[in-house]
Each structure stands twice: as structure tokens, then as C-alpha cells.
Amino acid sequence: MQDIIPFFILLVLFVGTCLVSPLHDGPMYDSTAYTECKEEPEKPLYNGGVFESQPQSGGVQHAIALYAVDGPSFILHSLTQDTIYSFSGLIRASLQTENETYDCIGTVLAKSGCWSFLKGGFLLNWPSTSSMLFFQNTDGKDINIELASPSLQPFTKQQWRFNQEYLINTHRKQAVTIHVSDSNGKRMQGATINIEQISKDFPFGSAIAKTILGNMPYQNWFVKRFNAAVFENELKWYATEPDQGKVNYTISDQMLQFVRANKIIARGHNIFWEDPKYTPAWARNLTGIQLQAAVDSRIQSLMNQYREEFIHWDVSNEMLHFDFYEKRLGPDATLHFFETAHKSDPLATLFMNDFNVVETCSDVNSTVDTYISRLRELQQNGVFMDGIGLESHFTVPNLPLMRAIIDKLATLNLPIWLTEVDISKTLDKDTQAIYLEQVLREGFSHPSVNGIMLWTALHPQGCYQMCLTDNDFRNLPSGDVVDKLLQEWQTGHAEGVTDEHGSYSIFGFLGEYRVTATYGNKTADTTFSLCGGRETKHVTISIRL
């Protein structure tokens, strides 16, 4: 007897070749997502979009629903080049056009007897007059797939960017009004106001390596741009204890001193790496009690050395893809790692960090539902799992899929970080820069993303996949993108004059500010913070005449 797997979908069409007026008259992106199975399907987003606006007579029919033995599908007509389809509804959605096949544009871990929600998307490289969007099981089991509440919603490039900017303006910025008065509380019209942002609230940083030590040009370049760092390899077990019992934190200590001296926050990466290839060679030869003693010693040593120094710890890196320790120490090994790390450093946020979660949905080991399922399993066993780490090693980014996956992860109400962002070196540097900007804009504009880290530590021979500069710190195309966005995502310097109410207002990025008010030859200053929220921040300055 066949299992019946129901799920409902949302599809969002992003049309990249159309133009819109500067006044936004298009749809607003709907970030709705679900992780639980529903007894009844929800209503389609956008009222179904294109699927609900089929012509009654004449005109173009955009989609035809088909139901076949191997799964339901839609025939989509007149798809245009540079068109992104974002949708939501282990089922996999795929797309086949005349020119190419998109292996996976969305997945959901569907359950029998209830409605699961799938959300994903794709970008066409060539126009298509007739394409098939189809849904299939990934493990070959004989199942019946039912669809409900499909939605297909078009967005132009300008509309998609408008949605990004709207989210940035509402979640990354806040209004502030400066009030100036004399010592008696009388309003002072015509006072000159100078506002300067002195620090940013949003953590934006990069990996660093030991190559930064003693390298003043590298240090100056880094400090000028970033407020967050992560050590590329220097905290990993094979780096701190290459030979059993010979623990050496000299390099990581020096890197931490650089971070502290420049008021930069740092992520702890990592305590353990489940990939045996990156486990110390001597530890790979241990089993049972000997290995347990070695891992206990590793955690205790590392936590004692760096308690309260790092804001995060990647506890058991890439545990969705590898299981070295659980194979050797049993299924509770990971649980033990998290429990011990939390007891040793209770103020640090503990992350589950992995790849191919937002980069693709083709990797069955790390689909969004697989990630959520593993995280919940650990939480149910008492693990203090506080953070979602998305490595973000992209080749060709699928932007609506990326956004849809983050939408779904956001339902967990945990901090989400893009932890190792880069673009594959299989692409030329100009293409890397284009894709990097797309990924960074998607990440920064999503309200649930709490920080972004680039994986661009510089070595004499280059970087892991993508460098921002050459060895003389001259920007490469990706470096130009980063500098452009850093400039765009800061308030910088604002200057104005108080009005008849003695007030001056701006809309600034979240962070710390210094404000100076000048009236005649008298000056007063203060500092304030913009921490987010819909309410306007009010700051009062009193000038003694």
C-alpha cells in the first residue's frame, strides 16, 4: 500500500528583465514559513499569485497542473531568462526546461497524514517557452504525493531589491531625534548638529590566519573594515595539539591579543570537527576509553584557556555530514560535547555549523528540515543549542532558495549567522564579486540573520576559495564589493540644523553614535545607541549659554 504524502507549496517568480517605476507598486515578499506538519493546508501566499490568476478565456495560461504516477508537476509557460522562482509548499522539487535541468529547487521532509510546507526557488539562465516543475520522492519509496495551496508570484529585479531595502530600513535602522535646549529648557532653533556613527551593531567580519601576526598592513586593512573575526584554523584541535599531550596556544593567544586590542569580537571555531580528515592523526588511532579521555582533556583545556573570550563556539563542526566521534564513542558523544562546553563557558552561544544548508538543497545530508530535525533532537536531549551556523560556501547562489531556507530556520527563534561566506574559485574573480554581492545583500536584509563572516583569510599563496585583496592589499573585485557594502550599510557622518522645535532627526543604522551640538561659540556633546525597534529614539542635549 502506498503512503500518501501531502504538502503545500508557494512559488515566487522573480522576473529579472522587466522595469518598474521608482514608486514601488509591486508585491511585498512574504517570509511566512512552517516547520510543523499541519492537519489542514494553509491558504496560499499571495492568494496563489500566477496560479490563481489563470485567464478565463483567451490570454496566456501560465501553468497547468498534472498528476502522474511518479509525482505531481506543473507545466510553466513563457519563463524568461534571469527569472528567479521562489516557492514553498524528504520531497524534492525540480525544474526541467528545454535547455537545462535544475536538480533541486526546494525540499521538504514530508510526513504521512499531514501537510508539510515546502519553500524554495530557482533562477533561469535561458528563456523557456515550456518548462516542467515536478515533485518527487528522493529515496525511491512508492508514495503518493498530494499538493495543495500552490502559489507562483512574480518579482522584478527592482521589486526584489526594493523588498531587501525595505527590510534593511525597518530592521537594521532606527529613527533618532536630537533635541537641543538651553540650561532652562528653552528650545534652541538654529543649533548646528554633527552626528557620527562610531561603531556598528551588526557583526560583519572575516576569518583571519596567523599570517596577520606582525603584519601591520594586514592588521590595518582588517581593522579599518571589520568588527568581527574568526580564526581560520588556529583553534582547531590539530593546530593546538598536533602531538598528544603537547598543547600549545601560543599562536591563538597572539591572535586573540590582536582581536582584543582592536575591540573586535571573535567566534570560537571549532572545538571538534566530525570529519576524521581534520582530526589529529594521533587521535584517529584511539578508541574507547582512550579517545574519551582525549576529548575530555581537549574540551577542558580549550575552555579553561578561553573561557568568556569568544562569543560563539562551533562545538561539533559539520556533524550533519560526518560522525567520527559518534561512531567511536557512541550516539551520545555530541550531546556530551555540548553539555561540557556549556558548563565550561555558559555565556558563550553554542552553534551547530554546517555546509550545504543554504547553498543548495541537493545535499540530502543537510537539507533545511534535516538541520532542524537534528537540532531539535539535541535540544530534546537537553543540549544548550543556541545558534544556527550556515557556512555559505557558494558556487552559483540560488537567492530565493537561500531566502526561503532562512525563512524556515527563522521559525526556530535562534540566532542565525552566515559563518564562512565565500564564492568558489572555479569562477573568475569578476563573477565571484557579482555572486558575493548577491549573497551579502540577501543575508544582511534578512531580519533573522544576526551576523556575517567571510571566509577570506589571506595567505601568501592566496585564500581558501576567494580573496578580497592581493598580497599588497590592493582590492580584487570581491574586495570592492565588500568596501561598497560597508560604506552603504553605515550612517557615516550627518550634519544639520535644529528646526523651530529645537530638533533634528535622522534615520541611522544600528550602533553607537557621538553627537555634538553647537550654538554660537558654545558646544555640548553626548553619545547614544540605536538598538532597533519601531519607536524613535530621543536624545536631549543642553547647552549652557
What are the residue numbers of the active site? 318, 420
Count CA atoms closer than 13 A to 377's CA, side-chain side. 13
Please state, in angstroms and rounded to a whole number, the distance separating the CA atoms of residues 223 and 259: 9
Residues 6+ apart with CB under 8 A from 14: 83, 84, 85, 86, 121, 123, 154, 155, 156, 157, 160, 399, 400
Look at the alpha carbons of 284, 285, 287, 291 in this order and tell me if their dihedral is positive or negative. Answer: negative
Q: CB–CB of 186/545 below 8 Å?
A: no
* Contact status, residue 485 vs residue 165, Cβ threshold 8 Å: no
Beta strands in 202-296 (DSSP E): 204-208, 228-231, 265-273
24 CB burial (10 A radius; 0-12, 13-18, 19+): middle
Distance CA 317, CA 483 (A): 30
Burial of 305 per CB tally in 10 Å (0-12, 13-18, 19+): middle
Give all strands (DSSP E) within 28-70, no chain letters.
63-68
Q: How many angstroms separate the CA atoms of 13 and 154, rounded?
A: 4
**Contacts with 354 (C-beta within 8 Å, 6 or more apart), sequence order:** 317, 318, 319, 320, 321, 366, 371, 389, 390, 391
Which grid coordinates belong to 188? Answer: 534652541
3-state class (DSSP) for residue 32: coil
3-state secondary structure of 101: strand
Determine whether 247 is exposed, middle or buried from the number of CB atoms within 10 Å of its CB (0-12, 13-18, 19+).
middle
Cα–Cα nearest to 13, from 70, 71, 68, 95: 95
Q: Residues near 46 by Cβ (< 8 Å), separated by ≥ 6?
A: 10, 12, 27, 30, 151, 153
Q: Please list the residues that pair with 493 across neighbouring strands.
A: 196
Please report, as a single letter, which amino acid is at residue 488. E
Whether 32 contacts 407, CB under 8 Å:
yes
Separation in Å, CA 482 to CA 226, 263, 438, 472: 10, 20, 11, 17
Distances, alpha carbon 242 to alpha carbons 16, 231, 510, in Å = 51, 17, 42
Q: CB atoms < 10 A from the CB of 126, how many? A: 13
